[in-house]
Amino acid sequence: MNIDALDLPAFRPGWVWLVGAGPGDPALLTVGALHALQTADVVVHDALVDDRILVLANADSELIYAGKRGGKPSPRQPDISARLVALARQGKCVLRLKGGDPFLFGRGGEEALALVAADIPFRIVPGVTAAVGGLAYAGIPMTHRATATAVTFVTGHNLSGKVPDDLDWPSLAAGAQVLIFYMALKHIDEIVGRLIGAGRSPDTPAALVAHATTDAQQVVETTLAAAKQAAKSVTPPALFVVGEVVRLRDGLDWLGAISGRVLTADPLGHGDLRDAV
Ligand code: SAH
């Protein structure tokens, strides 16, 4: 069946679609995102959007890069928003393509509000965020019955590039069973220090998941105390995961299993499940 049969919304001239491209693997693209790529006149994309996704854009569309390149600073956010508005006013079908999900640490809200201010009609197409895609490919569930009933997404740095100060670190350290930090590599030392300082055990299992869902994916299992050292072996983009759920990887690293890793059915030592199945 062709996706045309789905009667997806038409991309109208003068509209901007803010679309999530997922963490990397094109298999994680939504049908809505693929449809947008096939019908957009112009695609304004970030550095985090994988090349294997950009090639899915229709041959007549113009690709505009709006991220950091060669150490140069990225375009200012107001400039990107102004560009989206200008392209829409030219009557183009404008696809603003962002890594992961546009509304999770993606400034999608800011860009959409700029569209509202300029009276530009828009649509949001969510994407698989890096934590969801990355942990699935790392074999680490975000929640697990009796081990983790809550998960918290945190940004490792705020607008001014610093570890957020307006966060209640003691509550995070004590209350959030699973913490997933985005943009954490630069300040990993400070993040770890704050969590341990607020009472989280230095032995808490942790993992770094870098270049998740791409061929360059790298997963390093560590502990809170050893995370700074472990972080030296990965490059951005990376997620920093803290919580007991990391131990489940011994049983769930399905990608590793494809290349020969032997999985254990009882990674938490809760008793042999084989009797139960
Ligand atoms: N809107 C995006 C997040 C953008 S912030 C989303 O929903 O995923 C950029 C941060 O996302 C990076 O610093 C990193 O922490 C994370 N990230 C994005 N893609 C990633 C990937 N393929 N692997 C690991 N982390 C990734």
Amino acid at 166: D
Our answer on whether the CB atom of 99 is closer than 6 Å to any ligand 1 atom is yes
How far, in Å, from the CA of 1 to the mean position of ligand 1?
Answer: 32
Task: Check residue 161 and give its pLDDT.
Answer: 78
262: part of which helix (H) or strand (E)? none
State which CATH number among 3.40.1010.10, 3.90.1200.10, 3.40.50.720, 3.40.50.150 fits the domain covering 3-128: 3.40.1010.10
Of the candidate ranges 63-67, 71-75, 253-257, the one whose mean pLDDT is the lowest:
71-75
Could you tell me the two tokens for 229? 């050292």
Average pLDDT of 73-83?
85
Who's near 112: CB < 8 A, 6+ residues apart? 18, 122, 124
Q: What residues are labeled active site?
A: 46, 68, 183
Could you tell which of 53, 104, 105, 188 is best to mutate to test the pocket of ligand 1, judged by most ligand atoms within 8 Å of the CB?
105
Our answer on whether the CB atom of 130 is closer than 6 Å to any ligand 1 atom is yes
For the chain, the average pLDDT equals 93
Asked whether the predicted pLDDT for residue 197 surpasses 60, the reply is: yes
pTM: 0.94
Our answer on whether the CB atom of 246 is closer than 6 Å to any ligand 1 atom is no
Residue nearest (by alpha carbon) to ligand 1 atom 18: 130
Give domain limits for the chain.
Answer: 3-128, 131-258
Alpha-helical regions (H) of the chain = 31-39, 51-54, 77-89, 108-117, 130-138, 169-175, 188-197, 227-231, 249-252, 254-258
Task: Check residue 202 and give its pLDDT.
Answer: 97
Return the residue matching tokens 């350290």. Answer: 173
Our answer on whether the CB atom of 239 is closer than 6 Å to any ligand 1 atom is yes
Who's near 198: CB < 8 A, 6+ residues apart? 169, 170, 172, 173, 174
221: part of which helix (H) or strand (E)? strand 218-223
Our answer on whether the CB atom of 134 is closer than 6 Å to any ligand 1 atom is yes
Asked whether the predicted pLDDT for residue 252 surpasses 80, the reply is: yes
The larger pLDDT score, comparing residue 129 to residue 277, is at 129
State how far the Cα of 171 lies from the Cα of 229, in Å rounded to an integer: 25
Our answer on whether the CB atom of 108 is closer than 6 Å to any ligand 1 atom is no
Residue nearest (by alpha carbon) to ligand 1 atom 13: 183
Beta-bridged to residue 42, according to DSSP, are 62, 94
How far, in Å, from the CA of 215 to the mean position of ligand 1?
Answer: 16
CA distances from 270 to 207, 218, 274 (A): 21, 28, 12
State how far the Cα of 9 lies from the Cα of 17, in Å rounded to an integer: 11
- Structure-derived torsion over alpha carbons of residues 197, 198, 199, 200, reported in degrees to the nearest 10: -90
CATH class of 131-258: alpha beta
How far, in Å, from the CA of 150 to the mean position of ligand 1?
Answer: 20
How far, in Å, from the CA of 135 to the mean position of ligand 1?
Answer: 12
